Amino acid sequence: MVEFESVIVTVTIRIHQEGNNLNTLNLFISHSWAYGDAYDRLVNLLDSRGYFSFKNYSVPKSNPIAGARSDKALSEAIETKVRLSSVVIIMAGKYATYSKWINKEIEIAKRLNKPIVAVKPFGATQISSVVRGAADSEAAWNSESIVKAIREVTRIRR
């Protein structure tokens, strides 16, 4: 089994729009396993939004991607998840600059022409320059900002 430090999450979010139409967005959320608590708080922020309904396809450290026994296999599995996603969300802590897997996920998202939203960690004064440089939009650590950034990059308006 290959050890890696990134958690891959696909979240399906339904955004209620005018006329009660629903648009479902598939999100790929990436963060370092060393900062799993930040991921939990991000999911809680999204969950706190009344007009969001999402299914979490998390791949926690305790249950890594099945069959990914090499870097190549893991990269291919990540690419499959990103390909199915509308938006890639990356936790933009300074640690992301040095994360092998977050950098691979950025590369994959760019190659597949997927928009990237950088989410600034709660209370952070600095964010990863690598993530900032790759991001199409940045979001502060609150649900309003995150939802706004998602809408901007997907052009979905409420």
**Segment 111-137 mean pLDDT:** 92
Residue 147 pLDDT > 70: yes
As a whole number of angstroms, the distance between CA 110 and CA 116 comes to 8
Instruction: Compute the half-sphere exposure of residue 121: CA atoms within 13 Å on the CB side of its CA.
Output: 20
pLDDT class of 37 with cuts at 50, 70, 90: confident
The third-level CATH classification (topology) of the domain covering 6-154 is: Rossmann fold (3.40.50)
The separation between CA 68 and the C-alpha centre of its own chain, rounded to angstroms, equals: 20
| pLDDT (0 to 100) of residue 56 | 59
| pLDDT (0 to 100) of residue 23 | 63
| pLDDT (0 to 100) of residue 154 | 85
**Segment 122-149 mean pLDDT:** 90
Q: Could you state, in order of their start, the residue ranges of all structural domains in the chain? A: 6-154
**Segment 130-142 mean pLDDT:** 95
- 2-11 pLDDT, tens per residue? 444 444 444 4
Q: What value, to the nearest 5°, has the Cα angle with vertex 138 and ends 151 and 50? A: 45
- 68-104 pLDDT, tens per residue? 789 998 889 889 888 888 889 998 888 777 788 889 9
- 50-66 pLDDT, tens per residue? 675 565 555 556 556 77
Return the DSSP state at 121.
P
| pLDDT (0 to 100) of residue 10 | 45
How many of the other CB atoms lie within 10 Å of CB of 101? 21
